Chain A
Amino acid sequence: MKENDVILRTVTRVVVFIILTFGVELFLSGHHNPGGGFVGGLVLSSALVLLYVVFDIETVHQGVPFDFRKIAAFGAMLSLLSGTAAAVLGKPFLTQGFGYFDLPIFGLTELATVTIFEAGVALTVIGTVVTIILSISKDV
C-alpha cells in the first residue's frame, strides 16, 4: 500500500541536513563542551534512520552505498589504533596529544588526537545503530 507522504518527504529533505549539521556540531563541540563522538554519532545515525523510514531501503542505499557493519568495525578499529599509536610512540596506551596550529581559514586552532578516537566512536555508533534498525526492519 502506498501512503500519501508528500509532506513527510518534503520536510525530510530539508530536515535531514539540519540533523546532519547538528550532529557534526555536537561531535566537534564535544572536545570542551557537552557532546562528543557518541552523541554526535547517535544524531548522525538518526538522520540516516529518518531517511530509511521515509524513503525505502533500496533508494537510500543507492545514495549511501556503504555496508554499515563494516563502518562499525572500521570505527572501532580506528579508535583502537589511535590508542595504539601512542603505545608505538613510547607513551602509555591511549595517551592523547594536542597542539595549536595556525590554519588558513580557521586561524589559530587547537587540534587534538582525541578527535580521531572520537571519530572512531562516532562511526561505530552510526554503523551499529543503522545495522540494528535495518536488521529489525527486514523481518517485518
Chain B
Amino acid sequence: MNNILVLPMLLPLLTGFVLFFLRPSVKAQKIVSILSLLSLVAISGRILLQIRVEGIIRLDFGGWEPPFGILFVGDSFSALMVLTASVVSTLIILYAFTATERRMENMFFYPFAFFLVAGVNGSFLTGDMFNLFVCFEVMLLASYVLITLGGGKVRLAESMKYIAINVVASWFFLVALAFLYGTVGTLNMAHISVRVAEAGQGPLLSAVAVVFLIVFALKAGLFLYFWLPGSYSSPPGPIAALFAALLTKVGVYAMFRTFTLIFYHDEFILGTIIGTMAVVTIIGGCLGAIAYTDIRQIASYNVIIAVGFMVLGLAVFNEEAFKGSVFYLIHDMVIKGILFLIVGAMVYLTGKTKITEMSGLIRNYPTLGWLLFLTTLGLAGIPPLSGFIGKMYVGLGAVEGGNYFLLFIGFASSLVVLYSMLRIFMNCFWGETIINREDQRLFPARRLIPIALLGVLTIGIGVGAQALEPFVSDAARVMANPGLYIDAVFGEVES
C-alpha cells in the first residue's frame, strides 16, 4: 500500500475544488496554487526516489487486489513523467499568474489548469486501461474549457475542431476498450499483457492493437496531426504552453505503455506501421515548420516533429532506443513549455504573429531573445543541452537495430528544426528595430523568471544527464522486459 502514489492526481483535483470556492479572491487562488504545486513537485520527487529504492510500487484503490480492482502503478517511467510534468506545469502556471487576463482568472482558469494536471498525472500513473480512458477524459475536458476560455472567433472555430476530433478519438478509445475487454476479458494492463502473451497476438488482437494505435496517434499528433497546429496556435501563451508541454506527451506515453507492455508481439505493427507513421509525421512536421511564417504555427509543427522523433524510439524497439525516447520525452516537455511561452510572449509584446512583421526585437527584449536562442539550440539537440542526450540514445538504438533509414530521418529532422527556429530568431530578433524603445510594451522580470527557470532546467537536464541516467535506464529496462511490470502488479501486497 503506497498512498503516496495517488497524491499526484488527488492533490491537483482537491486544489482545483478549493480554488473553485476561492473564486472572489484571485490572490488567495494564487497562494493556494503555488503551495499546492510546490508540494506536488516534492511528492513526485519522493515517488521517484521511493521507486529507486523499492522497485515498482503500486496502490490498489479500496484494497481491491489486481486484476479485480483499479490500481495505480508507479515505475520509473511514469514517475519521471509525473515529476517532469509537475515541474513544468508549476513554472507555466507561475508564468500564467502574471500573464492571464483578469476576466479569465475569474472564469475558473486556475481550477481547470489543475484539473488538467490531475488528468495528466493520472494517465501517467494508472495501471488500468479503462482508468486510462477516464484520466484522458479528465485531462481533455479541462483542456476543452481552457481552449475555449476567453472566446474570440478564431479560437472558437479552432476549439470546435479540437473538441470534435477529440470526441471522435475518445469514442474510438471506448470501442477499442470494448474489443479488448471482449477478447481478453480484463482491463488491468498487466493482466491484459499476460493474457495476450498466452493467447498469442493473432489477427484479432492485432486489429485491436491498431485501433489503440489510431486512438493514441490522434491524441499524440502522430501522423493524424492535422488538427494540432490550429488548436495549439489559437490559445494564449500559458495555455498553449500547457497543451504543448503535456497533452501530446500523454498520448506518446500511452503509446509506449501499450506497445511495450501489451502488444509487443507483432513485428509488423511495431516496425513497419509505427515506423512509417513516425517517418511521415517527421516529414510532414518539417514541411509545416519551414512553410509557415506564423511563429505559433512554426512552434506547433515543431511539436509534431518531436512526437515523430519520440515514436521513432518505439519503432526501433530496443532498450537503448527506449532510453533515448524517455530522455527525449522529458526534454520535450521542458522545451515545448519554454518555446510556447516565448512565442506567446512575442505575440503579446508585438501584437503581430508573422516572422515577416517582426524585426530587431533583440534591442527591445535582449533576455527573451537569448532565451529563444537557447531554446533553438535545445530543440536542435546541440550538446550540452537537454535535446542532445535523447537524440544520441535513440541514434545508438537505431544503429544497434540496424534501422539506418529511421536514423537518417530522425537526425535530418534536427537540421530542419534548427533552420525553422533560426528563421524565427533571425527574422524577429535581428535586423532593424521597428519598435521604439519608448513605445515598447513592458515585459516585467516576474514574467521572465519562469521562462528563464525553464531555460535553466533544459541546461540542467543536459548537463545533469548523468544523475538522471539510472532512473531513465530503469524505465527503459522495464519497458524492454514487461515481465518486471507484471510481477510487480501481481506480487504480494506489502502492508
Contact = CB atoms under 8 A, between A and B. Distances in A.
Interface stretch (A5-13, A33-41, A89-97, A103-111): A89-97
Interface of B: 1, 3, 6, 10, 13-14, 17-18, 20-21, 59-63
A77 interface: yes
A80 interface: yes
A31 interface: no
B61 A92 contact: yes
B20 A70 contact: yes
Interface of A (DSSP majority class): helix
Contacts of A91: 1, 63
B62 A73 contact: no
A87 B3 CA distance: 6
B14 A92 contact: no
Nearest to A114: B62
A80 B62 contact: no
Contacts of B59: 92-93
Contact of B63 (A69, A77, A95): A95
Contacts of A70: 20-21
B10 A84 contact: yes
A125 interface: no
B61 A80 contact: no
A94 B20 contact: no
B62 A94 contact: yes
Q: Which 6 pairs from chain A and chain B are nearest by CB?
A: A77-B17, A94-B62, A73-B20, A87-B3, A94-B61, A93-B6
Contacts, number: 43
Most A CB contacts (10 A, CB to CB) among B3, B14, B60, B61 go to: B3
Contacts of B60: 92
20 contacts: A69-B20, A70-B20, A76-B13, A76-B17, A80-B13, A80-B14, A83-B10, A84-B14, A87-B3, A92-B1, A92-B61, A92-B62, A93-B3, A93-B6, A93-B10, A93-B61, A93-B62, A94-B62, A95-B62, A96-B62
A67 B319 CA distance: 54
Interface of A: 69-70, 73-74, 76-77, 80-81, 83-84, 86-87, 91-96
B6 A87 contact: yes
A94 B6 CA distance: 10
A80 B21 CA distance: 16
Given A77-B14, A87-B3, A87-B6, A92 B63 contact: yes
Contacts of B17: 73-74, 76-77, 80
Contacts of B18: 77
Contacts of A83: 10
A70 B61 CA distance: 27
A113 to B, nearest CB: 11
Nearest to A93: B6
Contacts of B6: 87, 93
A83 B59 CA distance: 13
A80 B14 CA distance: 7
A94 B63 CA distance: 8
A8 B13 CA distance: 42
Contacts of B13: 76, 80
A93 B72 CA distance: 10
A23 B6 CA distance: 32
Contacts of B14: 77, 80-81, 84
B10 A80 contact: yes
Contacts of A95: 62-63
Contacts of B62: 86, 92-96
Most B CB contacts (10 A, CB to CB) among A74, A77, A87, A93 go to: A93
A106 B290 CA distance: 75
A112 to B, nearest CB: 12
A80 B115 CA distance: 13
Given A73-B21, A94-B61, A96-B62, 19 more contacts: A70-B20, A73-B20, A76-B13, A76-B17, A77-B14, A77-B17, A77-B18, A80-B10, A80-B13, A80-B17, A87-B3, A87-B6, A92-B3, A92-B59, A92-B60, A93-B6, A93-B61, A94-B62, A95-B62
